[in-house]
Structures are given as structure tokens and as C-alpha cells.
Structure 1
Amino acid sequence: MLIRNRRAANWPFESASWSPSKASRPLLHRLHEWGHREVGHSFAELTELLVRTAVADGGRRVSVHLADQGRQALSVALSHRPERTVTDDAVLPELTRLGAVSCGMDTAEDGRRVWAVLDL
């Protein structure tokens, strides 16, 4: 997955039970810095679900990536556990319920990625 020609940021986290709630804070702060002040609770819930899904893969760390373009934000959680296959069918409908206009998951060399795009 390449993110080009837009603002982007990323954060590493320990793969632990507290990481999902901890991860949403810096993402919200960064979106507010970028001028998206109306972003709030639904984006935090969406980010927590992304990170919780990556943590469930059982790796030692997860990373969270954020980008914005126009009036949309992309949030990606990466599990860093490459041998994990995509099997969780319940996550994508839940991301949609939380407001994702597009979402998905796949497995790459660096682990499982689960992502969502949210209108701002």
C-alpha cells in the first residue's frame, strides 16, 4: 500500500490490550492539527476497531497510519505478523456501521492490513 501526494503520519504501538484506546488519541490530535476539527467520537471508535483487529493477530507490535485528502481520512492498522491470513468477516460491516465509506483488509509481506476511509 502506497500513500503518495498527501499528508500522512504513522505511529508504532505495542500489540497490547490497551493499544486500541491509546492509538485513537494521536490520530485525532493530528487530524485536528490538519484542520479537521469536527472529527471526534466515530473516528476514535473506528480507529480503535482497526487497532483491536491488528492486535488480535498476536504480533509483538502494530502500526497505525493516517492520511487525509480533501474531506476524507484514511486510517490503516498493520499487524506486522505476515503469516496471518484474512479471516475476520465481522470487522468490515462494523467499520461501515461506524461511518467508513470504504474499508478493507488484506495480507502483505509486512502483515495484515485493515483500513477504512471516513468522510470528514
Structure 2
Amino acid sequence: MANWTLEAAPWAVGKAGRAVVGRLHEWGYRHADRVAVDLAELLVRTAVADGGRRVSVHVADQDAQVLIVALSHRSGLAPGGGEVLSELAALGAVSCGTDAAEDGRRVWAVLDL
């Protein structure tokens, strides 16, 4: 498992994509770079748009799948996300979702590796 906390700024989108792919390479996954970057960037772009001060990115792998989660750290938001879920699925997520808790809104996607 890996995680990063970034400022909720436009530059965080690209940094998160690079960090996720770098970690996947460290774990021995080298064949899903473009899809992993696209998913991570969309997740972080969505979290940044929530308007919090920071976003967290969490990545975990199991059984040749990777879970990527972005947390907006802005409480009081509804789970929402119908449009982003459609976009995640179109990018190649085999599963995705969104929920809201006291620590902010989470948006996540699972990718087969």
C-alpha cells in the first residue's frame, strides 16, 4: 500500500498520475501505465474540484488488481459522482465508486493488471 497527500491544486493531478505509475512499477506492474495514469488523474481532478485544501491518494494491489482512491478532505459533500463513475468505467475501471464521510469525499477505481 502507498499513499500521498498533495495540495488541492491543478498541478497535483499530474504528480499523482506519475506517483501511482511509479509505485506500480516498483511492485512489478509495467503494462497498464496509460490506463493507471488516466484513472489516477481523473480521481485526483475530481477530488481537487471538491474545493478542499488537500487531497490524499491511496494505492493498493492484490491478486493482479490495483485500487486507486482519492480523498478530497472536504466534509459535508454528498457522494454524487454519476458522471465521474461513467468516465472511470470508460477509461477501463472494472469497478468504481464514491462515498462521503466526515473526512471528505472518496472516489475510487479498481484496475485489472
| TM-score bracket for this pair, using the shorter chain length | over 0.9
**Residue pair 2:20, 2:59 contacting (<8 A) in 1 also:** yes
Query: Structure 2-normalised TM-score?
Result: 0.97
4+ residue runs of structure 1 moved beyond 2 angstroms? none
Give the superposed CA RMSD.
Answer: 0.8
- 2:82 corresponds, among 79, 89, 93, to 89
Which of 54, 65, 68 pairs up with 1:61? 54
Structure 1's unaligned 5+ residue stretches are 1-7
The structure where helix makes up a greater share of residues is: 2
Is the CA contact 1:32–1:39 (under 8 Å) kept in the aligned structure 2? Answer: no
CA contact (8 A) 2:44 2:70 kept: yes
**Partner Cα separation in structure 2 for residue 29 and residue 14 of structure 1:** 19
Unaligned runs of 5+ in 2: none
Q: Does 1:71 align with 2:64?
A: yes
Q: 1:108 aligns with which of 70, 88, 101?
A: 101
Does the CA contact (< 8 Å) of 2:81 and 2:98 recur in 1?
A: no
Whether the 8 Å CA contact 2:80–2:98 is kept in 1: the answer is no
Report what 1:49 is aligned to: 42
What is the aligned length? 113
Normalising by structure 1, we get a TM-score of 0.91
2:73 corresponds to which residue? 80
